[in-house]
Chain A
Amino acid sequence: MATANDISMNQAGPGPAAHVLAVAVENLHKTFETHKVLDGVSLSIRRGETLAVLGRSGTGKSVLLRLIIGLVQPDIGSVRILAQDIAGLSLDMLGDVRKRMGFLFQHAALYDSLTVGQNIAFPLVHHRNDLSKAERNDRVDQLLAEVGLVGALDKMPSDISGGMQKRVGLARALALDPEILLLDEPTAGLDPISSGEIDELILKLQSEHQMASIVVTHDMHSAKTIATRLALLDRGRVVIEGTFEDLEHSEIALVEQFLKQL
């Protein structure tokens, strides 16, 4: 299996867009009730990069993604998406930023009253008025083909497996050709074969679309396969950030525990 490092090495070189920070979070703090979830997290990612955010359960990985897309607001700190600070934006203004992002939820979060095709078409229906119905249907077919689900168009989310739901969620996240892709536990709850397929799919999409991706995962195999950089969160803080090789050379006990998965 190719890894993200192989793919980035095969590319001709970063274009000018690659130097723009796609996501930059600075000193993020977030507390729910009395539970401090994030305690000064700072991370950044450029276009074409994939950052895997690792950490034990409850260390704030999913909250970090929700802060980045503006579903939760920080107590302290800033989130910049493509150089725009999203703090204080109205829902509609934030929507303009979100149109440039795709989000795969941990449990896919498909609209259960809509078919697979309608789920994928949802962002197109609301944001691509320039497309005719036929063009929209073509785009949905193309996205279904990209995630390997040709023939699932008219199925209901309840009639497909968890792995297929993740693929549909991924297709929906890609519908508007996002510049930033946020993936929350894309392989959680899947068998090793389905996990491998999702990883392959993410790698393929990265190579084709050149997005900035942030992947929250517990799965070290997956992180090693798809990420160009990794960050390990513990107790709401980034304990280490770097390439897989950097982590391998680390003497931090938690890092060693994670590497034991491999």
Chain B
Amino acid sequence: MTAPTTIAPIARRPGISSVHEGGSPSAGLSSGFFEWFGSLGIFSWRVLKAAATPPFEFKELIRQLDDVGSKSLPLVALAGAAIGAVLSMEVRSSMTRFGATSLLPSAVIFSIIQEMGPTVTGLVVSGRVGAGIGAELASMKVTEQIDAMEASAVNPYRLLAATRILACILMLPLLTAAADACGILMGWIAQTLVAPISLHQFIDSGFRGATLSDFLPPTFKTAVFGLIIGLIACFQGMRTRGGAEGVGRAATNSVVLASLFVILADVVLVKLILVIFH
């Protein structure tokens, strides 16, 4: 029989990188706020490190590009089209009042491409993809599937988080372009139903005097929205605790926080674009 040994305590050394030891839920509101940002920072660093080092998970990335991109396309296109139609009707009413109906195509196209298209795409993807990623990863976490992945020596930051975040970053500008196109098309349809105008004329008039810097920065700023959506959804999912209730909470928090940060980031990005490109 072996007696249990008693030896001097060994000081704790730098921790093993793991997705398991989150913060204390009993922490106060302010410390919880700082702890959340601190944990997000550590999470981001681990994802960045995992993404930058081989092996690269190309198969999973392609699966995520399909999931984030092609599966969001109908929803984003529909939202863009609705915004285009509404904008056309609303702007027409205002322009008529000021006798500036000739500026209507420009007003619709500039509004859609510079602000409405990117913001609506960001919010729609926050809802669909943010909730999906948050719930999926949270479910994997509470059923120990992420632990099993780690135990199998597969880095979940690389396989689960980096691929989803990268897919969001890459697909958001493309989805935004699709939403913009649908918005412009529906804006033209709404316009031409009231005062017939050819699509060519509508676009020609709308883009007159415009430069690439009017359109590219607002479209590519959505890559930042993609980063925010992917990062927050993965973070919320992978730090989940507490069974089915925790999964629901992770999905809700992913959508709410991603939407909120997309809107806040938009304010900063619009100002930056104005300072840099105008």
Contacts from A to B (Cβ < 8 Å):
26-27, 29, 33, 40-42, 66, 69-78, 86-92, 94-96, 98-99, 101, 103, 105, 107, 109-112, 122-123, 126-127, 172, 237-243, 246, 250
Contact = CB atoms under 8 A, between A and B. Distances in A.
B50 A109 contact: no
Given A70-B16, A94-B16, A96-B153, 16 more contacts: A27-B6, A42-B5, A72-B20, A73-B18, A77-B10, A88-B13, A88-B15, A88-B16, A103-B148, A107-B144, A109-B147, A111-B140, A126-B159, A241-B1, A241-B3, A242-B1
Contacts, number: 130
Q: Is the interface of A mostly helix, strand, loop or mixed?
A: mixed
Contacts of A33: 24, 26
A109 B1 contact: no
A94 B12 CA distance: 17
| B interface majority secondary structure | loop
A166 B241 CA distance: 23
B99 interface: no
Interface in B52-107: 53, 55
Interface of B: 1-18, 20-21, 24, 26, 46, 50, 53, 55, 139-140, 143-145, 147-155, 157, 159
Contacts of B147: 66, 71, 105, 109
Contacts of B139: 112
Contact of B150 (A71, A242, A243): A71
A42 B17 CA distance: 23
A124 to B, nearest CB: 10
A42 B152 contact: no
Nearest to A86: B16
B12 A42 contact: no
Contacts of A42: 4-7
A71 B18 contact: yes
Contacts of B145: 109-112
A122 B16 contact: no
B152 A123 contact: yes
A76 B150 contact: no
